[in-house]
Structure 1
Amino acid sequence: MSDNRQRFSNRVADYVQFRPNYPREIFEPLQTQHGFGSSSIVADIGAGTGIWSEQLLEHGATVYAIEPNAPMREASLQRSARYPNFQVLDGSAEATGLADQSVNWITAAQAFHWFEPNATRREWQRILRPEGWVALIWNQRSLDATPFLRQYEALLHQFGNDYSTVKHTNIDPQLISDFFGQQPACYTAQNAQYFDQAGLLGRAFSSSYTPTPEQPNYQALRQGLIDAWQAYQVAGKVAFLYTTTVYVGRFA
């Protein structure tokens, strides 16, 4: 667990610059079906560099960003320090440091697959107010929508360090239902990014499962990405296509 919390320490700059936001459309069901709004007090768990925290703040929520990685906490603070209703805390999903029943929303964006589910559930039940909501969010990259995306996925399997083990798609709907103790609501929206060659490299190496420059597969992956970009770019860009999925529910 402690190793997982340090995986992104040397990737923060790329993470800040090249990871996607979440489509604004996903806020509509949170607001209309679950009461999210300016009165919401949110524990954003595994907040990372604060991409999702900032979007919560833009909607007027009070946000406690819980993040165990110090460089990521600093990036999150730099991103959203202008908001008076924002606080960054050194904590984890399993030990947030928040008081009992102190929040009415808990969110985890692109993070739940790093958590230990049983300990996380106990902690979240402790800090969540009665009738509070939990939302788990992922930008799920399309694996085969285009020839480029198929090639990108093949390169990760060939040259990634532990891609098959840690990718978030290992979290299946049954595990999520077990976590809630019932079937949560599920909402989806489409999302996309478009990268030049430098952007593609930055996006790829923002992922903790890609090799760093001193590791053996780094140069092979880098060259493979350049070759893929050259083969499939259109007007100097390649597209990353995502389906953003949000699971929202209460603990049974």
Structure 2
Amino acid sequence: MSDSTKRFSDRVESYIKYRPSYPSDTLDSLEKITCNGKPITIADIGSGTGISTQLLLERGHTVFGVEPNTPMREAAEQQLSRYPNFRSVNGRSDATQLPDSSVDLIVAAQSFHWFELEPTKMEFVRILKPGGQLALIWNERLTDSSPFLREYEALLQTRATDYQTVNHSNITDEDIESFFQPNPIEIVRFPNQQLFDYEGLSGRCQSSSYVPAEGTAGHDSFFEGLREIFDRNAENGSVSFEYQTTLYIGHLEHFSYE
């Protein structure tokens, strides 16, 4: 998408407040597979407002948050200024501005589906140290596990702006396997959840780039539909977003350990 680096510029506040974090089990698995809990240098590509970056910093790693969107990057700089091992970088997945062989691990959390894959792979191989790895992480919202989630998915399909085009489900396991070839990948999955009252649900929706922004065509219709399905499905004043958090880890080159 030609405008992909600007899509979230007017959604930063909602992104910070309402986007889900990642289960601690996901970070435990990431460390076990890549570094056995030892501090390493990580490039978090498409780091946005710093949700995944903060989790990595809290575990003692040095993290380069590489983000092309200025409002999101500045929000991360403000949020993460207390971490001495945080480095903010104005860069893209295919032009990270990082030196050759400078990082032990690359993380892309909720961002890989925005990347131009061929130049991105070349750039990732360039900045990884020998033996370095890539981890892709997604909170994948379940669409059929409850009446509310089925109705919410139908609302997105019919009233969201370009949901079918930019939904990260357009990246398949086969696409990911192809990116890592000729190396195998390890896949681990964990449950995740968010509970929302209507204000929280509305904020969560406004953090998504495919939901019509206030003042644009379709905004009122979308949120009228959202209110209806919330009122129909809320229990004790709340609804649940259920996720499957998926972690893909592997090498990008064929390394010999002999």
Instruction: Determine if the TM-score, normalized by the shorter chain, exceeds 0.5.
Output: yes
The Cα RMSD (Å) is 1.0
% identical aligned pairs: 46
> Shift of the alpha carbon at 1:78?
1.6
Secondary structure of the corresponding residue to residue 169 of structure 2? helix
Q: Hey, what's the Cα distance between the residues in 2 that align with 1:193 and 1:9?
A: 24
- 3-state SS of the aligned residue for 2:11? helix
State the partner residue of 2:67: 67
Q: Residue 38 of structure 1: CA displacement?
A: 4.1
Q: Which amino acid aligns with 1:63?
A: V
CA distance in 1, matches of 2:208, 2:36: 30
More displaced stretch, 181-190 vs 84-93: 181-190
1:1-252 matches, within 5 Å, as 1-35=1-35, 37-181=37-181, 182-252=183-253
Shift of 1:36: 5.0
Per-residue CA deviation, residues 72-93 of structure 1 (Å, 9 max, x unaligned), is 0011112211000001110000
Count, aligned residues? 252
Q: Which runs of 4+ in 1 moved over 3 A?
A: none
Q: Verify the 8 A CA contact 1:37 1:60 in the aligned structure 2.
A: no
Counterpart Cα distance in 2 of 1:229 and 1:36? 43
Check whether the contact 1:37–1:61 (CA below 8 A) recurs between aligned residues. no
Deviations, residues 109-133 of structure 1 (Å, cap 9, x unaligned):
0000000000100000000000001
Task: Structure 1 unaligned segments of length 5 or more: list them.
Answer: none
Q: What stretches of structure 2 of length at least 5 have no aligned partner?
A: 254-258
Task: Write the letter of the residue equivalent to 2:35.
Answer: G
Instruction: Give the residue type in structure 2 aligned to 1:130.
Output: P
**Structure 1 pair 98/238, CA: closer, same or farther in 2 (3 Å)?**
same
Kindly state the Cα deviation for residue 205 of structure 1 after the two structures are TM-superposed. 1.2
Structure 1 distance, partners of 2:28, 2:213, is 39
Offset, 1:31: 2.3
Please, which moves more after superposition, 215-224 or 239-248?
Answer: 215-224
Supply the distance in 1 between the matched residues of 2:106 and 2:12 (Cα, whole angstroms).
24
Please give the alpha-carbon distance, in whole angstroms, between the structure 1 residues aligned to 2:242 and 2:41.
Answer: 31
Q: Normalization by structure 1: what TM-score? A: 0.98
* Structure 2: distance between partners of 1:131 and 1:31: 15
The aligned amino acid for 2:139 is N
Q: TM-score, normalised by structure 2?
A: 0.96
SS in 1 for 2:44: strand
2: CA distance, partners of 1:131 / 1:221: 47
Instruction: Decide whether the 8 Å contact of 1:180 with 1:249 is kept in 2.
Output: yes
Whole-Å separation in 2 of the counterparts to 1:47 and 1:115? 13
Look up the equivalent residue of 2:96 and give its one-letter code.
T
Instruction: Confirm or deny: 8 A CA contact 1:194 1:238 kept in the other structure.
Output: yes
Whole-Å Cα distance in 2 between the matches of residues 240 and 35 of structure 1? 32
Question: What is the SS of the residue equivalent to 1:65?
Answer: strand
Taking the aligned partners of 1:53 and 1:33, their CA distance within structure 2 comes to 18
Amino acid at match of 1:167: N
Residue deviations 1:28-58 (CA, integer Å, cap 9, x gap)? 2222232253421000000000000000001
